[in-house]
């Protein structure tokens, strides 16, 4: 960067928004190319190779500047005639302090984030999480309100929703407000550990959901088996909370500095990250395998049923609900490994993962007939004067239903006879 006057240099120092510094010594354990990241860009640098030329020591500083467009205006740069220069990204810089030999054995790569894309992603993230958290809260309220009804609520669904709700709320808290805290380092370490536990627990509950759904589909032809409890709720609680507790409890003592005080999450580029990615990758792979098996089994089972109109409509409903379970099982999280490929995949990933609570609410509440019945009863209890109107509407509906084609009546009866995927899982 060319020298600037003292006034502009002072202004330059005041516009520094974020600084990342990384130092290695002769006993450094890092062997891969280091990646430093901030809100505006990514930098990949082979700090170990640089240290070899400087007696084993090297440091790198990565800075992001705020409002730099007031100093480095796009018009300062020469370009062809009839062209308009635009500042497309935030200005960043990097330097190697106290490094005599700055020989680079490998190139340093900078990945700049587009300013407009960053604002769009932030807006989509805020709206998506707001909608998802609202509907997830409604699902939790529904399951608690009708917890005595086994066809509405279950320990599995309720705990899955609670873990997702607490994890997403805590994540928003750490990202939005913790940056202004005077106890950021200590608070980040505590909250990062809690987030580690909550997200792992949520994925374990998704795995239990997949297993329950798989067993329900396997027993689809056995009407009596749909009322059996696949796994007792006490064992579900043990698996859902003890397993992530053991993972976090064993990982933290091994690498007590595994949490980043800047991002309030696990440090990237360290082996400690696999204490989260390892279980998550295993669960996502198993859920995807179980889901594919469920779809194939469901199709084979329905093919052996009679091919009348009622069974065809029933099969379509069941396949639709099974496909909806794809999102509840957390399978879209697989896209998280591909977000660096393109911005489009990152947007799809944010939209799908932020709406996991929406999918749960739609499948287990909106599409659940028993939930609608319970809410109607609650409405009639709170508003008794609507009973007469509701009764007359039901009588009109029954009269109209009897006048319809008998084929539709057969469909209604057969739909009751075959268990719903959403109600079984």
**Residue carrying the six token digits 């539709």:** 408
For the cut 50, the answer to whether the pLDDT of residue 227 exceeds it is no
Encoded tokens for 402: 């009897």
Rounded Cα distance between 418 and 223, Å, is: 7
Q: What is the pLDDT of residue 403?
A: 43
pLDDT over 70 at 274, yes or no = yes
Which of these, 274, 192, 262, 340, lies nearest to 22 by C-alpha position? 262
How many C-beta neighbours within 10 Å does residue 85 have? 12
**Using CA atoms, how far apart are residues 400 and 202, in angstroms rounded to an integer?**
46
Strand, coil or helix: 105: coil
Q: Helices 343-354 and 115-145: crossing angle, nearest 10°?
A: 20
Query: Would you state the pLDDT for residue 324?
Result: 79
Contact 115, 87 (CB under 8 A): yes
**What mean pLDDT value characterizes the chain?**
75
> Distance from CA of residue 167 to its chain's centroid?
10
Render 242-291 in DSSP notation, one character per residue: IHHHHHHHHHHHH-TT-EETTTTEEPTTSGGGHHHHHHHHHHHHHHHHHH
Question: In angstroms, rounded to a whole number, what is the distance separating the alpha carbons of residues 277 and 298?
Answer: 31
Token duo for residue 218: 């396997």
Q: Which long-range contacts (CB under 8 A, 24 or more apart) does 332-341 make?
A: 332/356, 333/280, 333/284, 334/284, 334/288
pLDDT-derived band at 204 (thresholds 50, 70, 90) equals very high
pLDDT tens digits along 334-382: 888 777 777 778 788 888 888 888 989 988 888 888 888 888 888 888 8
Topology classification of domain 116-424:
Rhopdopsin 7-helix transmembrane proteins (1.20.1070)
* Residues 67/15, Cβ–Cβ less than 8 Å: yes
- Phi then psi for 24, rounded to 5 degrees? -125, 155
User: Measuring CA to CA, which residue among 105, 61, 120, 111 is closest to residue 90?
Assistant: 111
> Mean pLDDT over residues 74-93, rounded?
70
Per-residue pLDDT, averaged over 309-313, amounts to: 59
More confident: 404 or 187: 187
CA distances 3 to 17, 73, 180, Å, are 20, 16, 33
Predicted confidence at residue 411, as pLDDT, reads: 30
Q: Where are the domains of the chain?
A: 6-113, 116-424
Segment (H or E) for 112: strand 109-112
Tell me if the pTM is above 0.75: no
Query: Is residue 92 within 8 Å of 39, Cβ to Cβ?
Result: no
Q: DSSP for 339-402, please give it.
A: TTT-HHHHHHHHHHHHTHHHHHHIIIIIT-HHHHHHHHHHHHHH-GGGHHHHHHHHHHHHHHHH
Concatenate the DSSP letters of all residues of 285-321 into one string: HHHHHHHHHHHHHHHHHHHTS--SHHHHHHHHHHHHH
Which residues are within 8 A (CB) of 218 and not within 5 positions of it... i.e. 6 or more apart? 297
**pLDDT classification of 246: cutoffs 50, 70, 90:** very high
The pLDDT-based confidence of 10 (bands split at 50, 70, 90) is: very low
Phi, psi of 66 (to 5 degrees): -105, 135
- pLDDT, residue 147, reads 82
Average pLDDT of the segment spanning 75-96: 72
C-alpha closest to that of 240 among 295, 278, 207, 201: 201
The backbone torsions φ and ψ at residue 114, rounded to the nearest 5 degrees and listed phi first, read: -65, 135
Interstrand relation of 58-65 and 16-24 (parallel, antiparallel or unpaired): antiparallel
The residue to which tokens 């600037």 are assigned? 4
Architecture of domain 6-113: Sandwich (2.60)
Q: Name the residue with higher pLDDT: 143 or 92.
A: 143
- Say which residues have a Cβ less than 8 Å from residue 215's Cβ, sequence separation at least 6: 230
């Amino acid at each position: 960067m060319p020298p600037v006057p003292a006034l502009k240099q002072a202004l330059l120092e005041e516009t520094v928004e974020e600084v990342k510094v990384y130092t290695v010594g002769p006993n450094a354990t890092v062997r891969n190319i280091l990646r430093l990241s901030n809100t505006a860009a990514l930098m990949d640098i082979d700090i170990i190779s640089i240290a070899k030329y400087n007696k084993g020591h090297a440091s790198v500083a990565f800075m992001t500047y705020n409002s730099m467009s007031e100093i480095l205006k796009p018009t300062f740069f020469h370009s062809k005639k009839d062209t308009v220069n635009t500042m497309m990204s935030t200005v960043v810089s990097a330097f190697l302090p106290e490094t005599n030999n700055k020989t680079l054995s490998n190139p340093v790569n900078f990945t700049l984030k587009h300013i407009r894309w960053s604002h769009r992603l932030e807006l989509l993230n805020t709206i998506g999480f707001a909608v998802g958290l609202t509907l997830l809260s409604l699902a939790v309220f529904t399951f608690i309100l009708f917890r005595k009804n086994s066809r509405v609520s279950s320990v599995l669904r309720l705990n899955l929703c609670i873990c997702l709700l607490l994890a997403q709320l805590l994540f928003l808290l750490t990202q939005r407000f913790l940056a202004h805290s005077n106890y950021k380092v200590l608070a980040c370490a505590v909250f990062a550990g809690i987030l580690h536990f909550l997200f792992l627990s949520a994925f374990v509950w998704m795995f239990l959901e997949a297993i329950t759904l798989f067993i329900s589909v396997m027993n689809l032809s056995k009407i009596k088996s749909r009322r059996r409890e696949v796994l007792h709720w006490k064992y579900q609680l043990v698996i859902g909370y003890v397993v992530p507790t053991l993972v976090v409890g064993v990982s933290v003592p091994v690498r007590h500095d595994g949490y980043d005080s800047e991002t309030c999450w696990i440090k990237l580029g360290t082996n400690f990250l696999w204490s989260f990615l390892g279980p998550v990758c295993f669960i996502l792979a198993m859920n995807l395998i179980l889901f594919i098996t469920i779809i194939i089994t469901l199709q084979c089972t329905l093919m052996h049923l009679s091919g009348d109109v009622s069974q065809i409509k029933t099969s379509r409903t069941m396949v639709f609900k099974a496909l909806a379970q794809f999102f509840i099982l957390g399978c879209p999280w697989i896209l998280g490994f591909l977000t660096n490929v393109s911005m489009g995949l990152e947007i799809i990933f944010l939209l799908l993962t932020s709406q996991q609570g929406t999918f749960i609410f739609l499948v287990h509440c909106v599409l659940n007939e028993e939930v609608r019945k319970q809410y109607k009863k609650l409405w009639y209890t709170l508003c008794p004067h609507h009973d007469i109107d509701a009764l007359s509407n039901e009588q009109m509906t029954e009269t109209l239903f009897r006048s319809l084609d008998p084929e539709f009546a057969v469909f209604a009866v057969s739909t009751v006879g075959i268990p719903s995927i959403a109600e079984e899982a």
